[in-house]
Amino acid sequence: MDYRVVTASNATGVNTSWKEEYDWGKTFHEEAFSAANLGREIAGFKADPEGKTEASRAYMHHFFSGNDSPLLAFVWPQYVCSLVNDSADAYKACVCPAQ
């Protein structure tokens, strides 16, 4: 129903503390992690080619484990196309639509 990322303070397991890093439902204000809800979020990303909305910025922030990085923002439209286009032809049509 939900998607969460929990991180450990170290890789050994000795005296490890756990911290919730990311909660998909809270971040995107959705009740469940479902195909329909995920599709709606991706449609929102596609409608935001500059990656400026709260949802787009949150995705970019959590993509790099809570570290804001300009790298994903630099290729945001192309990255969003890759989320739903898994063939070369479909990806090409998304990234380079006919004018």
Residue 98: exposure state from Cβ atoms within 10 A (0-12, 13-18, ≥19): exposed
Q: E-assigned strands of the chain?
A: 4-8, 18-23
How large is the average pLDDT for residues 22-38?
91
Residue 67 has pLDDT above 80, yes or no: no
What are the phi and psi torsion angles at 17 (to 5°)? -115, 145
Q: What is the DSSP letter of 75?
A: T
pLDDT for the residue 99: 60
Task: Tell me the per-residue pLDDT of 31-64, one tens digit each, with 9 for 90 and over.
Answer: 899 999 999 999 999 999 999 999 999 999 888 7
